[in-house]
Structure 1
Amino acid sequence: AYECVNVEHEEVIMIPREIDCNRVTFKYSLGAEFIDWLKTFAYLGLDSNEKIRVGDVSVSPRDVLAAVLPNPAKLGHLMHGRTCAGTWVKGTYDGKPREVYLYHVADNETTMRDWGSQAVLWQTAMCPVVALELLANGSWKGVGVRGPEAFDAVPFLNLLGEYNTHHGIMEMGPGLWPSPKPTGQPGWDRPVKRAIVPGY
C-alpha cells in the first residue's frame, strides 16, 4: 500500500511567485513500510538536528542516522521499476474547467545502464542540467533567483526530449481517471518523438 504525503519542497514557494494560483502542494508517494520507519525515527528523536552529548562527543541524532543508513546513491543496482514526477494542474482554460497531469518518467534499469545513476537521482539532476544548458546557450534569459516556471517551457521540453527523457501531458478530471487520455498538445510530444510511451 502506498500513501501520498505532503512534504516541504521549494516548488510550494517558487511556483506562486511566477504563476497566479490558489494552492500549491508537494507530495511524495511512499510505501507503508517506509512511512512506518519514518514515524519510528521521529518517535525515537532520530530526526532531530539538535546536537546531544554522547560521552565526549556532541552529535545530532539525524547525523548519526545518516551515517548508519546506506547511501541512496549507491543502491541503484538493487532498485527496480520506474519513478514518476508530475504536476496535476486544476483550473480553467478558455473559461472552462480543465485538469491536466504533466509528468516525467525515469526507468531505473535504463538510467543505471545509460548513466550509471539510479532513477530518482538521475531524474532529480536532469532537469537542472537542462535548465543550465538553456541559460548557457541563451535560450533562457533572466536575472535573480527564478525557478524554471519563470521561463518558456517549449525549449526546455525540446531539450529534455533530446536527452531521451520520457515526459508528457494527459487530460484528467471527471470521466477520465484512472484512464487519462493524451492531449496531443504542442511542446509535449518530445521524448523519442512521442509524449506517451507505451508501457509507461
Structure 2
Amino acid sequence: AQAHKIDIIVNACDPRLNDPIFEAAYEAGCTYVDMAMNLSKPHPTNRYNEVGEPLGAAQLAADPRWREKGLLALVGMGVEPGLSNVFARYAADHLFDTIDEIGVRDGSNLSIDGFEFAPTFSIWTTIEECLNPPIVWEKSRGLFTTECFSEPEVFHFPAGIGAYECVNVEHEEVLLIPREIECNRVTFKYSLGAEFIDWLKTFAYLGLDSTEKIRVGDASVAPRDVLAAVLPNPAKLGHLMHGRTCAGTWVKGTSYGEPREVYLYHVADNETTMREYGSQAVLWQTAICPVVALELLATGTWKGVGVRGADAFDAVPFLNLLGDYNTHHGMIEMGPRLWPSPKATGQRGWDRPIRRAIVPSA
C-alpha cells in the first residue's frame, strides 16, 4: 500500500482475515473499510446469559490509537451492517425527536430452482451469525445475549415480498448503533423461515457447525468448511434465483410530541441485478453500499478519525448518491393506525421509492 501510495484499503475478505488487514491498514497509514467486523467469541460456559467477546471487540478497542494517528477505519460498511446504519442515522437526524427502538429487519421471498436447501449467502457466515447467541442492546442493561431464534415476530416487508416471521440473530448493528445514536433498544432480526432454521439446528446437532478441525483419514478438516465445500456456491446461483430481498431499519419514537414508527428500506430484485450487473441480488446489495461509501470518502464528503460505523456520518449524501446509482431506498410510515398494511389504508406514498433524501427545511 505504501509503495503504491494507496489511500483506502477495502477488506472484502472473509471476516476471519480482518485482523491482519485491519492492522496492515493502520501501519500503512491508510483508511480502512470492511463489510463485516471481527467474529465474536461466545461465553465459554454460559453463552445464552453472559456476553463473551462481542463482534468487532478488538476493532472497536483500537479506536483511540486510530484517532491518535488521525486515521479512519469505517467498519461494517455493507448493506447490513452499513446501509442499515445509514438509515438509523437519517431517522435520528431528520425524522424523530426521540427514539425508543431501532430494529433492523431483513426479509426476502427468494427461491432457487432445483434445490431444497441452498444458501443465498456464505453458509459459513450464515452459520456463524445464526447459531451464535443473538445479541440485544438496551440502555438500561447494556449488551446481552438470548437464545437462538428468540423473540419471533411477523414483519410485513414491502415491494410485494410479504409477511415473514423474523427472529433475533447476532449482528454488528446492535454494537455500532448505540455508540452513535441516542435510543433505548437496538435489535437485529432475520426472516429465516422455519425450514431454514430446522436445517441450521440439524447442522448444529450433527456438529457440522464446528470450526474445530478433526481427523478424517489422513486429512485434518473443520466440519463447517466441509459443509461450505459441498453446498452450492451462492455466487453461482443467480441464474436459478427468483424474487426480491429487503434490508431495512424499523425505528420507533416520537416526532413533534406524537408517536411515530418508520421503516426505511432497500430492495434488490434478482432479475434486475442479474440482467444489469450479472450478480445475484443478495451479493449485489451488499456490494453496492461500499461503492457508494468509497465515493464519499474519496471526495471528502465523509471524513473522520477513529473506528466508526456508517451511523457516524451524514446519511443524506449517501442516500442521494445511492439514488444516483439508480437504486433507490424507500420509506413506510407505520404504527397503530397503519400496521400491518399501509397499502390497505390507501396511505399516500406506499412503497414509493424516495429518490432524494433531502434535509427538511428548518
TM-score class, shorter-chain normalisation, is 0.7 to 0.9
How far residue 107 of structure 1 moved from its aligned partner, in angstroms, is 0.4
In 1, Cα distance between the equivalents of 2:348 and 2:239?
Answer: 32
- Against the structure 1 CA distance between its residues 40 and 2, is the aligned structure 2 distance closer, same or farther, given a 3 Å change threshold? farther
Judge which range, 174-183 or 16-25, deviates more: 174-183
For 1:10-89, what aligned pairs fall within 5 Å after superposition?
10-89=172-251
How far residue 166 of structure 1 moved from its aligned partner, in angstroms, is 2.9
In 1, Cα distance between the equivalents of 2:197 and 2:228?
Answer: 17
Residue pair 2:273, 2:280 contacting (<8 A) in 1 also: yes
Aligned to 2:284: 122
Return the letter of the residue paired with 1:133. Answer: E
Aligned to 2:30: none
Return the letter of the residue paired with 1:129. Answer: V
Aligned to 2:135: none
In 1, Cα distance between the equivalents of 2:308 and 2:294?
Answer: 12
For 1:157-168, what aligned pairs fall within 5 Å after superposition?
157-168=319-330
How far residue 95 of structure 1 moved from its aligned partner, in angstroms, is 2.6
Runs of 4+ with >3 A deviation: 181-184
Aligned to 1:90: 252
Aligned to 1:189: 354
How far residue 182 of structure 1 moved from its aligned partner, in angstroms, is 5.8
Return the letter of the residue paired with 1:29. Answer: S
Aligned to 2:68: none
Aligned to 1:179: 341
State TM-score, norm by structure 2: 0.50
In 2, Cα distance between the equivalents of 1:169 and 1:113?
Answer: 26
Which one scores higher on RCO, CA 8 angstroms, separation ≥ 6? 2
In 2, Cα distance between the equivalents of 1:183 and 1:113?
Answer: 28
* One of 324, 327, 331 as aligned partner of 1:169: 331
In 2, Cα distance between the equivalents of 1:182 and 1:49?
Answer: 50
Residue pair 1:90, 1:98 contacting (<8 A) in 2 also: yes
Q: Once superposed, what is the RMSD of the aligned Cα atoms?
A: 2.0
Return the letter of the residue paired with 1:66. Answer: A
Gaps spanning 5+ residues in structure 1: where?
194-200
Return the letter of the residue paired with 1:33. Answer: E
Aligned to 2:307: 145
Aligned to 1:198: none
* One of 112, 136, 151 as aligned partner of 2:298: 136
How far residue 171 of structure 1 moved from its aligned partner, in angstroms, is 0.9
Residue pair 2:251, 2:261 contacting (<8 A) in 1 also: yes
How far residue 189 of structure 1 moved from its aligned partner, in angstroms, is 2.5
In 1, Cα distance between the equivalents of 2:179 and 2:170?
Answer: 16
Aligned residue-pair number: 189
State TM-score, norm by structure 1: 0.88
- Against the structure 1 CA distance between its residues 153 and 140, is the aligned structure 2 distance closer, same or farther, given a 3 Å change threshold? same
- Against the structure 1 CA distance between its residues 182 and 29, is the aligned structure 2 distance closer, same or farther, given a 3 Å change threshold? farther
